[in-house]
Amino acid sequence: MHRVGSAGNNTNSNRPRKEKRLTYVLNDTADTKHCAGINCLAVLKSSASDGCDYLFTGSRDGTLKRWALGENAATCSATFESHVDWVNDTVIAGDSTLVSCSSDTTLKTWNCLSEGTCTRTFRQHSDYVTCLAAAEKNTNVVASGGLGGEVFVWDIEAAVTPVSKSSDVVEDDCSNSMNGSANLLAISSPRTISSSNSIRTHTTQCHGYVPIAVKGHKESVYALAMNGSGSLLVSGGTEKVVRVWDPRTGSKNMKLRGHADNIRALLLDSTGRYCLSGSSDSMIRLWDLGQQRCVHSYAVHTDSVWALASTPTFSHVYSGGRDLSLYLTDLTTRESLLLCTKEQPILQLALHDDSIWAATTDSSVCRWPAEGRTPQNVFQRGGSFLAGNLSFSRARVSLEGSTPAPVYKEPIFTIPGTPAIVQHEILNNRRHVLTKDAAGSVKLWEITRGVVIEDYGQVSIDKKKEQLFEMVSIPAWFTADTRLGCLSVHLDTPQCFTAEMYSVDLNITGKPEDDKVNLARETLKGLLVHWLAKRRQRHGTQASANGDVVSGKDMTARSSAHSRIEVDGNAENDSLVYPPFEFSTVSPPSIITEGSQGGPWRKKITELDATEDEKDFPSWVLDCVLNNQLPPREKTKCSFYLHPCEGSAVQILTQGKLSAPRILSMHKVVNYVIEKLVLDKPIDSLNTDGTYAAGLGGQPQHSAGGEGSLRSGLKPWQKLRPSIEILCNNQVLSPEMSLATVRAYIWKRPEDLVLNYRMIQGK
């Protein structure tokens, strides 16, 4: 079973429940373009003669967009963002309801003409939801199918109307009771995202609506179609058969065999008499459901057929697929024309008056001429061929080995997208990530700000990674992927809190240079600064009792009650966001996460409205940003021995193993050595820099306990600072190197680190 990474552990095992993840999705362009392949299309015709038609696109970037269509232009007028994985299909139910389905296992309903308002989320499916079908005349009926072999028929109007039901089961229990089987009729667990776009869930009773389960598929469902009245439903998938159902009852009508591979696209005429199917066997078949047989086969494509669209009279079919080609075929005469070829496989088609929209694995959408009202006119241009009734490989002779020339060279116009990111490399400073997009462009991201800091153009990402190599050792505090066509950064507790840097190394002014900065904590503050500001406006700044911002003193006192949690005492508990952690408001990242109820959700950080709480956010995130509490962290210190170099007469007043933060730099070890020097008289030959540093923040402590800074009595001449160098494995260490870096790149052994020191003799 496939699961979304942010969804956490929903199984009924006895193992401790895995903490929820927080993911943030980065985008360096304005929110008017898709950044991954377009999986689905839907056209909404205006009812007014002078009104605007709309195109809806659903993408692998997890969003849908609404495009206001002009003469030869399209303007993005809204982004619908709530799905946390690929949007796989979308249909329009009635006049104003958009229904979408996703690999996050949900269906969502939206107000078509809103600014992106999700009105309801349904979590009935146990696996990716791959396809939808709507009844054109029966505006409330929508069917959904997915990889779990489940098909459900929904009455959208009834589904979005809350029904009172006597039950003590809250919605979260409902969703967690699913065990992956197809027998899910007993539950339905819709979630609400209210009209204010804040995340809300019904936490009283389980929603009363139950969809009709169409049972019979043993394998994945990839295609659905419904007739105009909603009285007939056809489905297909990996079983290679077309199944016909009565969606009003879920009962089986018939099963049609003939395809030799997966069925990927289906169409029904408005009456329900004829069905068209497209398959991975490269064939298109026309079925007469009254006769329960295939009446025509069309060998048009050279590879899988993934998309079908028919004329209103069901006389012609437009088809596209893996062979990058869009064909028009006369179902009666069997004449076929190559309309155009694309550079990517065609995933879905949508007829729009005398043109057709084609969605591909590219993030752009093209509009091509189609003569949808009078398709026969296109054949007058010549170049047609007769579609055989055998697969293309066996009927190739009929084409005499020639490839037909496309009728159209260029689309009417294109809605451009942003090339999807296809590769990423996390640099070892753990703040920068290299990405490469589908166009070959390599960029350098600073993930603690969510911005591109360098665009290198079309270069080798591997060579660029070598050039940018730094000898530093920072714990792997985040993971990343590019599944959505953009860079997604994942934070998991407690691993994300393992990385710290000194404020001076981050160029943060106004803080002591040896103040430790926790990268995950400051990143979370940067992500949630808008949420925190709105929260203060709603609750006031004084309300420590209700979990708002509290002072460091209050928090220290309260921390004793949290034996599992430690307080980050070095960082002030304020809303100040340091420059290295300021996220853009022009192209703000989106958060994907999950709280104690309601399932995963996604929203831009600037659109959070402060109503979100522990039902929406993981508890560890709230502990961090509200209460300055971090989970216990292991291996934040590094043990080492400090010995004089062989032959050196210089000794320091310390013995035994030392322990210090992993990020302690060698120049602080130098300071420590100088502080502990045992000298009986001045050494004239010492290089000095004129001053003596008496103390150092985060200095090594004796592991055996006791006073870590054992000071020898200083003589007046010792105020001159001698020059010391630190070595490891006979290699002189740079003052900027940290203990962790030395251990990883110089020491390279599992045993405790051994450092040596010596004076630099006068030159």
Higher pLDDT, 553 or 222: 222
Band (pLDDT 50/70/90 cuts) for residue 6 is very low
pLDDT, position 17: 58
Lowest-pLDDT choice from 73-77, 273-277, 380-384: 380-384
Q: Give the pLDDT band (50/70/90) at residue 262.
A: very high
Smallest Cα–Cα separation from 130: which of 149, 110, 150, 147?
147
Q: Which of 375-379, 438-442, 647-651, 750-754 has the highest mean pLDDT?
A: 438-442
Q: What is the mean pLDDT of residues 531-557?
A: 56
- Cα angle: 564, vertex 570, 573; to 5 degrees: 80
pLDDT for residue 183 is more than 80: no
Average pLDDT of the segment spanning 425-440: 95
Amino acid letter for position 23: T
Band (596; pLDDT cuts 50, 70, 90): confident
**Residue 163 pLDDT:** 43
pLDDT computed for residue 208 by the predictor: 67
Per-residue pLDDT, averaged over 77-97, amounts to: 94
Residue 300's closest CA among 372, 386, 240? 386
Residue 374's pLDDT band, with cuts at 50, 70 and 90, is: confident
Under the banding of pLDDT at 50, 70 and 90, the label for residue 169 is very low
Coil, helix or strand at residue 30: coil
Q: Does the domain formed by 635-678+720-762 have CATH 3.10.20.90?
A: yes
* Three-class DSSP category at 446: strand
Mean pLDDT of 715-720: 46
pLDDT at position 720 = 56
CB neighbourhood size of 438 (10 A): 20
φ/ψ bin of 320: left (φ > 0), alpha (ψ from -120 to 50), beta (otherwise) = beta
Tell me the mean pLDDT in the region 293-317. 93
- Mean pLDDT throughout 266-295? 94
Q: Note the pLDDT of residue 189.
A: 35
pLDDT at 186: 30
Q: Give Cβ neighbours of residue 565 (< 8 Å, ≥ 6 apart).
A: 559, 623, 629, 630, 631, 632
Per-residue pLDDT tens over the stretch 719-743: 456 788 899 999 999 998 999 999 9
pLDDT at 193 over 90: no
pLDDT at 123: 92
- Of the pLDDT bands very low, low, confident and very high (cuts 50, 70, 90), residue 547 is very low
pLDDT given at position 714: 44
Range in 235-239, 535-539, 634-638, 677-681 the model is least confident about: 677-681
pLDDT tens track for 8-20: 444 444 445 578 9
Q: CA–CA separation, 241 vs 191, rounded Å?
A: 34
HEC readout, 648-712 = CCCCECCCCCEEEECCCEHHHHHHHHHHCECCCCCCCCECECCCCCCCCCCCCEECCCCCCCCCC
Least confident of 65-69, 301-305, 667-671, 677-681: 677-681
CB distance 384 to 336 below 8 Å: yes
Rounded mean pLDDT of 150-171? 63
Average pLDDT over residues 178-207: 33
List the one residue out of 140, 72, 151, 87 whose CA is nearest residue 118.
87
Looking at 83-87, 369-373, 664-668, which range is the least confident one? 369-373
Asked if residue 23 has pLDDT above 90, the reply is yes
pLDDT at 525 over 90: yes
Mean per-residue pLDDT of the chain? 81
* Mean local confidence (pLDDT), 556-563: 33
Does residue 399 carry a pLDDT above 80?
Answer: no
Report the percentage of the chain scoring pLDDT > 70.
78
Residue 484 has pLDDT above 90, yes or no: yes
485: confidence class by pLDDT, cuts 50, 70, 90: very high
Was domain 36-123 assigned CATH 3.30.70.330? no
SS3 percent helix, strand, coil of the chain, rounded to 5, is 15, 35, 50
Residue 51's pLDDT band (cuts 50, 70, 90): confident
Domain residue spans of the chain: 18-33+418-538+577-634, 36-123, 635-678+720-762
| The predicted structure's pLDDT at residue 233 | 95
Interval 620-631 mean pLDDT: 92
Q: What is the pLDDT of residue 371?
A: 80
The pLDDT tens digits of the residues spanning 698-713 come to 444 443 333 333 333 4
pLDDT at 616 over 50: yes
